[in-house]
A and B are shown apart, each in its own frame.
Chain A
Amino acid sequence: MSSTIFPVLKRDLLLAYRNSTDIVISLFFFIVVVALIPISLNETESTLPRLAPGLVWIAALLSSILSLHRLFAEDHADGSLDLLLSSSSVYQCVLAKIAAHWLVTGLPLTLISPVIGLAYNLHGEQLSTLFISLLVGTPVLSCIGAIGAAMTIGLRSGSSLIALIVLPLNIPVMVYGSAAVRASINSPDNVMTYLLLLTAMLIIALVFAPLATAAALKISND
């Protein structure tokens, strides 16, 4: 099993490294969105923490969707998708591609989130909850997003169509993710509930999303 995952993962990460503007773009998109909102709302220091959970999570969701259309597009264009699909372990290949997408978009954003949290006047426990919720939640966004990306390969309206398809399906992740951070501000006892629910979603998504993505890839690449 690992013999398929790692070569694909390595290849995708290498491609991302050689093309590192892509990583930087989606990370800065996240930062710019998160920074724009306090400017436009003109909030005071005391109200900012209340806004932080929802805003950071919306920005993470948008940033994850922004980079989705590249997930399979290049492989489709240069024909390597055919190779990937003809292998006996499509599931592992897809899982590796999803992992690579998360390492390139979700992880940087998660790593920088404590700094964003500081700017939103969060502290201590709240920062760590924000970090953990993104760490567990953003892989789910990549998983669900991959299904949408696989369905829309090679379509003219691809990138906006992905958003239309994937955003409603991502609502639970966003709800529980932001609820965890909100709970860390209001009722710290409940934080664990949400983090566990997010983890449950991650497990379910890791099992089923590669299946659905592989099916969608086969349909799109017929």
Chain B
Amino acid sequence: MSFNWFKYSSPASFYGISHSIIKAASIIAVILCLLGLYWGFAKTPNILTDQKEYYRILFVHVPVAWMSMWLYITLVFWAVIGLIFNTRLSYMMAAATAPTGALFAFLTIWTGAFWGKTSWGVWWDWDPRMTSMLILLFIYIGYIALQNSITDTRRADRASALLALVGVICIPVIYLSINCPDPYQCAALHQQSSLKKIESNILIAMFIMLFATWAYSFAVITHRLRSIILEREKRTQWAQDISKDMT
């Protein structure tokens, strides 16, 4: 049995199936989001006594934080595929992923500030995880800025792909450096990962929300990708036909 791996790497054939991807992913995102929020608000115990309901921000904070990191990895994946195989669609995927990743990094910091104010009494502290999330946001912004400053699309794609690759090498180093500048004073507000200790209902709600944000990213990124495809392929006949239908 032969399967053409590169069939959907052509913008035209991908555009054909993209609409159904967006539709399916949006429906999944809405359903999972409602389910996850319901689970998070109604089914979870009030673990912290004296009415500390603020911990429920976790159901947004944690999925969004994970997605912002995961999206950077997928961005780099597509960038590298683009550099190796020189496929146009891979670069477009990477370019379409960046704004959603930046948005999630920003949302992580924002929801984290709410948590910080209620739990620790400060909006912001230079805790290693917060700082590294801020730097991830900067790297996303640098990527988007470089992509948008270069008018030649081909050069913009390849230069920003290289930047993403350099960034992925630097991120662990950055994290380690701000985590432990002094081996004898590793103080952090964030605790070690406590996944194993968490009550199972909280974990379920968190994972439902994680899949909801994942489906949301899928829908939004594919939607952005459609616009990028139409914009870049505007000289081709099929793209012109579609644009004509839309107007």
Contacts and interface: CB of A to CB of B under 8 A. Distances in A.
Interface of A: 147, 151-152, 155-157, 161, 164-165, 167-169, 171-172, 175-176, 179, 183, 187, 190, 193, 201, 208, 212, 215-216, 219-220, 222
Contact of A155 (B150, B154, B162, B167): B150
Interface in B119-171: 135, 138-139, 141-142, 145-146, 149-150, 154-155, 158-159, 162-163, 165-167, 169-170
Interface SS majority for chain B: helix
A169 B167 contact: yes
A60 B210 CA distance: 42
Given A172-B177, A175-B181, A193-B183, A164 B145 contact: yes
B100 to A, nearest CB: 19
A155 B163 contact: no
A171 B179 CA distance: 12
A172 B183 contact: no
Nearest to A186: B182
A190 B162 contact: no
B177 A171 contact: yes
A207 to B, nearest CB: 12
B25 interface: no
A74 to B, nearest CB: 20
A175 B139 contact: no
A183 B182 contact: yes
Interface SS majority for chain A: helix
A58 to B, nearest CB: 15
Contact of B166 (A169, A172, A179, A220): A169
23 contacts: A147-B163, A147-B166, A151-B163, A152-B149, A156-B149, A164-B145, A167-B138, A168-B135, A168-B139, A169-B139, A169-B167, A171-B135, A171-B174, A171-B177, A172-B174, A172-B176, A172-B177, A190-B184, A193-B183, A212-B162, A216-B159, A219-B155, A219-B159
Contact of A161 (B146, B167, B169): B146
Nearest to A179: B181
Contacts, number: 74
B173 interface: yes
B37 interface: no
B149 A168 contact: no
A123 B114 CA distance: 44
Interface in B165-207: 165-167, 169-170, 173-174, 176-178, 181-184
Contact of B155 (A168, A176, A208, A222): A222
Given A168-B174, A175-B181, A201-B173, 20 more contacts: A151-B162, A151-B163, A152-B146, A155-B150, A157-B149, A161-B145, A168-B138, A168-B139, A168-B142, A169-B139, A169-B167, A171-B178, A172-B170, A172-B174, A176-B177, A183-B182, A193-B183, A216-B159, A219-B158, A220-B159
Residue from B154, B155, B167 whose CB has the most chain A CB atoms within 10 Å: B155
A101 B183 CA distance: 33
A147 B165 CA distance: 12
A172 B173 contact: yes
